[in-house]
Structure 1
Amino acid sequence: MKKLTIIYLSNGGNVEVLANHIAKGAKDAGAKVLVKLVSEATVEDVTNADAVAFGSPSMDNNRIDQKEMQPFIEKFKLIPINNKTTGLFGSYGWDNGEFMKKWDSLMTEYEFNVTQKLTVNEAPTNEQLVEAEEMGKALVK
């Protein structure tokens, strides 16, 4: 049984909704899933998983959250990740999802193998919730 860890930060609830649908998809595919707020997450939550998904809203200057998510991600700068299968997801309001390109680049630099990405404008549509579930399934294949 594959293990997926989902770590997220959500301001208005949209990223949390995506996290829950990604978890549902992975569980439906038979995986063991751990879902945590970034404030409660540990490095081991990531290193002990077969795959990981990170979620953040777009914040200041088209970046992921700088107070909690960015410092957590930076912990992996010097930790061998060995191309761990990774999904990135988040919501944006004004930047057309530009933050995701920056985040993807950073994660690749830290040796995460980003295979799945999902960005939504404000609240996810029903179609995007289905995409989130498919993302969960794909991450644990």
Structure 2
Amino acid sequence: MKKLTIIYLSNGGNVEVLANHIAKGAKDAGAEVLIKLVSEATMEDVTGADAVAFGSPSMDNNRIDQKEMQPFIDKFKLAPVNNKTTGLFGSYGWDNGEFMNKWISLMKEYEFNVTQNLTVNEAPSNEQLAEAEKMGKSLVK
């Protein structure tokens, strides 16, 4: 059984909704799922999983959250993640989702294998929730 860890930060609840749908997709595919707020997550939550998904809203200057998510991600700058299968997801309100491209580049620099990403404008649509479930399934294949 594959293990997926989902770590996220959500301000308005949209990223949390996506996280829950990613978890549902992975569970439906038979995976063990650990889902945590970034404030409660540990490096072992990431290194001990077969795959990981990170979620953040777009914040200041088209970036992921700088108070909690960025410092957590930065812990992996020198830690071996062995090209771990990774999904990134998030929401934006005004920046056209540009933060996701920056985030993907950063994660690749830290040697995460970003195979999936999903951005939504404000609240996810039913179609986007279905995409989130597909992401969960795909991450644990």
Q: TM-score range by the shorter chain?
A: over 0.9
Query: 2:43 matched to 1:43?
Result: yes
- Alignment match, 2:34: 34
- Alignment match, 1:21: 21
- Alignment match, 2:125: 125
- Distance (Å, rounded) in 2 between the aligned partners of 1:81 and 1:52: 11
- Cα deviation for residue 126 of structure 1 reads 0.2
Count of aligned pairs between the two proteins = 141
**1:1-141 paired onto structure 2 within 5 Å:** 1-141=1-141
- Distance (Å, rounded) in 2 between the aligned partners of 1:66 and 1:51: 23
Over residues 25-73 of structure 1, what are the superposed CA-to-partner deviations in whole Å (9 max), with x where a residue is unaligned? Answer: 0000000000000000000000000000000000000000000000000
Normalised by the length of structure 2, the TM-score is: 1.00
- Cα deviation for residue 85 of structure 1 reads 0.1
- Distance (Å, rounded) in 1 between the aligned partners of 2:39 and 2:117: 22
Matching residue's letter, 2:130: V
Normalised by the length of structure 1, the TM-score is: 1.00
- Distance (Å, rounded) in 2 between the aligned partners of 1:70 and 1:81: 16
3-state SS of the aligned residue for 2:6? strand
Over residues 74-120 of structure 1, what are the superposed CA-to-partner deviations in whole Å (9 max), with x where a residue is unaligned? Answer: 00000011100000000000010000000000000000000000000
- Provide the aligned C-alpha RMSD in A: 0.2
- Distance (Å, rounded) in 2 between the aligned partners of 1:78 and 1:107: 12
User: Post-superposition, which runs of at least 4 consecutive aligned residues in structure 1 deviate over 6 A?
Assistant: none
Matching residue's letter, 1:140: V
Identity over aligned residues, as a percent? Answer: 89
- Cα deviation for residue 139 of structure 1 reads 0.1
Structure 1: state its 5+ residue gaps. Answer: none
- Distance (Å, rounded) in 2 between the aligned partners of 1:42 and 1:82: 17
Structure 2: state its 5+ residue gaps. Answer: none
